[in-house]
Structure 1
Amino acid sequence: MEIGIVGLANSGKSTLFNALTRAGAASSSYPFSTKDANVGTVQVPDRRLDALFELFKPPKKVPSYIKFVDVAGLVQGASRGEGLGNKFLGTIREVDVIAHVVRCFRDPNVVHVLNSVDPLRDAEIVETELMLADLEAVEKMLDKNSGDLKSGKKEAKERQEKLEKLKALLAEGRFAGEAGYTAEETRDFNLLTTKPVFYAANTDEKPDPIMLGKLRDFAKARGIKLVEISAKIESELIELPEEEKRAFLKDMGEEYTGLEKMILAGKELLKIINFFTVGEDEVRAWTLRQGLKAPQAAGRVHTDMEKGFIRTEVYSVEDIEKYRDEKTLKEKGLIRSEGREYVIKDGDICFFKFSPH
């Protein structure tokens, strides 16, 4: 899973990126300190994987990973060449989910590009720039498609109809995702405004209830998920040992770190689950699209396992945590043998049986 981080210049994007990835990307209290796209890969924290590692005690624990991509902050007019942000939007076109960082804090030491903090205005500016960037991309694709259209190619006509519909929506100031096409139908276009998105409200240590409330209502009205996160607090949390981190969160009345909130938001939007494998050498977490079946899960481990899939033995992390050993699970009938039609569930532990080719 790849999450692209966008936002107005000086919204705290790069500070947040550094806190999430320990990458040491340039950040400052002045706009445009991010000159190049920053990329960082992070282990996905998973309490269930930790529990399996403690229980089975293999030599290795292999988590799943997430990639964050941070680009230069946008400004009004980025689509016309203002600032630096539009230059790097091509990098964001490749990600799976967009995290739109919105500044919800006041700090006289951190310059705002418009000299005032207004989360709704800032969010709308960024969204407008994304739509204008997509509109430009669609117009270029229409020009390129015109030659194929003249030659009478069937796929060119279908492509033209889609692109014209998308252009009309974008010209009205609406997201291309509102066209009603599936992700598969628009995948080749690689548009920013068809990607799943959530707001990351970057707050102070003590969130401003008015600013946050306005953004929350705005997000709800648009059907966009909102995650509250403080880049400043996240920078402190990343340095703490796990036990101290959890105690710190508990004192704040929080269950999850900002990193965990962003990962959960991304997984929810992409409908991604985790299953696990356990062996003598390692315990490992795997990601899978929700709704996929056992053979596809086996294919995540190795393509030969999907080709020669026979069945899988399955039990849940919850059950092994409760009863502590597989023998008890067998006695209680909690280890199941499932075939090709079994839909993998979040938290399944799978032992795949397959015929080598």
Structure 2
Amino acid sequence: LGNIRECDAIIHVIRCFDDDNVVREGGAPVDPIADKEIIDTELQLKDLETIEGQMVKQEKMAAAGNKDAKVMVNVLRAYKEVLDKGMNARAVTFDDKEEQQAAHDLFLLTTKPVLYVCNVDETSAKEGNQYSRLIEEIAKQEGAEAMVIAAKTEEDIASLDTYEDKKLFLDELGLEESGVNRLIKKAYNLLNLQTFITAGEMEVKAWTFHKGWKAPQCAGVIHTDFEKGFIRAEVIKYDDYMKYKTEAAVRDAGLLHIEGKEYVVQDGDIMHFRFNV
């Protein structure tokens, strides 16, 4: 659980398939809700342990007049109330900025955004099944994300050597893309992440950034000097590049944009940063 505390989000894989060769503990029938609740309970108990460990200390400090401690006590009590009811801490929201910061500083496990991945059989890889629909409904109630993936199918896809073979296999299953690709997209969305691209003669590379970041911040992802000495960014939209095929053709079409410090970088932008340190 210590490793989970350092993560920004949780991907919770849940069994949603029948298979007599894969037996649950005690020979019990497949029960995705019970499996989910077991993990939830473990995380909730760990969060309660964290809160109770902080409560006495913070209450003493608050009684002595410490303003930050008073804020923290309010946050701890709000979290404890929902956790005692068997709910996840993410059910609590705070409008006050000081309370939001205090809540963040606790690093509770059940405040982290979660993506439920329903592991189904191959025949259910496209639309899911009765098990996955139960989890999807619970996810809606929690304000969480859920998706369907067939792990065995993904193993088969990974074993194929060429893109053409993989595409043919997906077509036979009625799938547009692999579950791994969909999982990556869901995870990026969950974490509010996007990608920009840099391209040169020697290398093309994708860089991850937080949605809403401006050009200098994205330049800093490559190197802090790029952000400090940022002058401008030359930007090509991904769709324009795919249409015209080369940077020169995009430039000739008048679609290479020069952007300054206030430009909000968009997903898929192809960037060339100008800087001076």
- Counterpart-to-counterpart distance in 2, 1:119 and 1:267: 25
The aligned counterpart of 2:116 is 199
- Counterpart-to-counterpart distance in 2, 1:322 and 1:328: 9
The sequence identity of aligned pairs, in percent, is: 42
| Residue among 333, 350, 356 paired with 2:254 | 333
- Counterpart-to-counterpart distance in 1, 2:64 and 2:13: 45
The aligned counterpart of 1:179 is 92
SS of 2:39 mapped into structure 1 = helix
Instruction: State yes or no: 1:215 paired with 2:135.
Output: yes
Output the amino acid matched with 1:331: D
Moved more, 242-251 or 343-352: 242-251
- Pick 1 or 2: higher relative contact order, CA cutoff 8 A, min separation 6: 1
Q: How big is the alpha-carbon RMSD for the aligned residues of Structure 1 and Structure 2?
A: 1.9
- Counterpart-to-counterpart distance in 2, 1:287 and 1:336: 21
Shift of 1:185: 4.5
The aligned counterpart of 2:273 is 352
- Counterpart-to-counterpart distance in 2, 1:129 and 1:91: 14
- Counterpart-to-counterpart distance in 2, 1:148 and 1:311: 49
Moved more, 120-129 or 194-203: 120-129
The aligned counterpart of 1:246 is 167
Shift of 1:214: 2.5
SS of 1:110 mapped into structure 2 = coil
- Counterpart-to-counterpart distance in 2, 1:329 and 1:185: 48
Segments of structure 1 that go 5 or more residues without pairing to the other structure are: 1-88
The aligned counterpart of 1:123 is 36
The aligned counterpart of 1:170 is 83
- Counterpart-to-counterpart distance in 2, 1:196 and 1:249: 30
1:184-221 deviations in whole A, cap 9, x for unaligned? Answer: 54332111111111110011122373223333333233
- Counterpart-to-counterpart distance in 2, 1:304 and 1:214: 50
- Counterpart-to-counterpart distance in 2, 1:184 and 1:348: 32
Per the normalisation by structure 2, the TM-score is: 0.90
Shift of 1:113: 2.1
Shift of 1:93: 1.1
Question: 2:120–2:129: 8 Å Cα contact kept in structure 1?
Answer: no
Aligned length: 268
The aligned counterpart of 1:226 is 146
- Counterpart-to-counterpart distance in 2, 1:141 and 1:158: 13
SS of 1:155 mapped into structure 2 = helix
Output the amino acid matched with 1:112: R
- Counterpart-to-counterpart distance in 2, 1:285 and 1:144: 46
Instruction: State yes or no: 1:95 paired with 2:16.
Output: no
The aligned counterpart of 1:106 is 18
Superposed structure 1 runs of 4+ greater than 4 Å apart: 182-185
The aligned counterpart of 1:10 is none
Segments of structure 2 that go 5 or more residues without pairing to the other structure are: none
| Residue among 140, 154, 168 paired with 2:67 | 154
Shift of 1:146: 4.2
Please list, as runs of the form range in 1=range in 2, the aligned pairs for 1:304-319 lying within 5 A after superposition: 304-319=225-240
Moved more, 337-346 or 211-220: 211-220
Output the amino acid matched with 2:236: Y
- Counterpart-to-counterpart distance in 1, 2:132 and 2:91: 26
Per the normalisation by structure 1, the TM-score is: 0.70
